[in-house]
Structure 1
Amino acid sequence: MSHCVLNQNAVIHGWERARGAFPFAIELLGRGIALIQLPCPEFIVLGGDRPPMTFEEYRELPNYRQTCQELLEPMIQQIQAYQAEGYQYLGIIGINESPNCSITGQRGVLMEEFFARCQQAQIGTNFLEVPTWYSEDNQGAFKEQLQEFLERGAANE
């Protein structure tokens, strides 16, 4: 899952939507679902005190896409290793409208690389996006979306 789902401290200061982790991530852990946290290339490359940037600005940063590829390689290897051990991979959880972690619409830089690498490795691409409106105080109908994601992931195994 996207790094900031488990660590809201990684987002641009003032844009946090929860204290620590999103509530649904804590719920997943409580249900016995293990989570693999993707690295945050924005934080790694530009730090915590970075300015807001667009997809295009990240795409144009020198070596940024290569950094994303390098950061993702151990994640892909982990997924493959878990699958080889018989664990079920349910899919990826991204962040809607993120310049790196968006999946629908303009796919983020990191997710472009993630999905390309999954295709090469023949890893399923079931996904869910955290909506822009979701927060610790406003979880709305996201629980239903999460349940559908889990059911699709389980059915694809």
Structure 2
Amino acid sequence: MIHGWERARGAFPFAIDLLSRGVALIQLPCPEFIVLGGGRPPMTYEEYRDLPAFRQQCQAMLQPMIQQIQAYQMEGYQYLGVIGINESPNCSISGQRGVLMEEFFAECQKAQIGTNFLEVPTWYTEEARGDFNEQLQMFLERGVRNE
């Protein structure tokens, strides 16, 4: 996240709702922050894609996450899916998929992990949630059905 571009003061309110329902969350690493830090300027998908070794750094960051999902599944936990951020150069899922999400979905395919997803729309804020709660409920229902 870049200062001034946040859509929530802390965790998204829906994340707090998920936790209160007993849904555990695994936070994916933020390659933008890890590689370039908090003071970086906004960059496009193409700029991240063209950074030397950025894609490989995303792959390396995702390996422990994929292993963690697999370990939870082996213990009988349900993996409901991934939540992305629309129009993010790394976390977007629909439209131009972000670099991190391209790698995440590729790793999920290799590991035979389901790819149910929800995407936080560009208009979502703490104050303006629109129909997002309905989208969240559909995401949860799809994830349970696909298990």
TM-score, with structure 2 as normaliser: 0.99
Aligned position for 1:58: 48
Aligned position for 1:8: none
What SS is found at the alignment partner of 1:68? helix
Aligned position for 1:35: 25
What SS is found at the alignment partner of 2:119? strand
Which 4+ runs in 1 deviate beyond 2 A? none
Query: Which amino acid in the other structure matches residue 91 of structure 1?
Result: G
**1:100 aligned onto 2:90:** yes
Aligned position for 1:124: 114
Aligned position for 2:37: 47
Query: Which amino acid in the other structure matches residue 101 of structure 1?
Result: C
Q: 1:1-157 residue pairs with structure 2 within 5 A?
A: 11-157=1-147
Identical aligned residues as a percent? 82
Distance apart, 1:106 and its partner CA: 0.4
What SS is found at the alignment partner of 2:101? helix
Query: Which amino acid in the other structure matches residue 17 of structure 1?
Result: R
Deviations 1:114-153 (A, max 9, x none): 0000000000000000000001111111000000000000
TM-score, with structure 1 as normaliser: 0.93
Deviations 1:77-98 (A, max 9, x none): 0000000000000000000010
Q: Distance in 2 between matches of 1:14 and 1:111?
A: 23
Distance apart, 1:17 and its partner CA: 1.2
Q: Distance in 1 between matches of 2:3 and 2:92?
A: 19
Unaligned runs of 5+ in 1: 1-10
Aligned position for 1:7: none
Note the aligned Cα RMSD (angstroms): 0.4
Q: Distance in 2 between matches of 1:18 and 1:28?
A: 16
What SS is found at the alignment partner of 2:118? strand
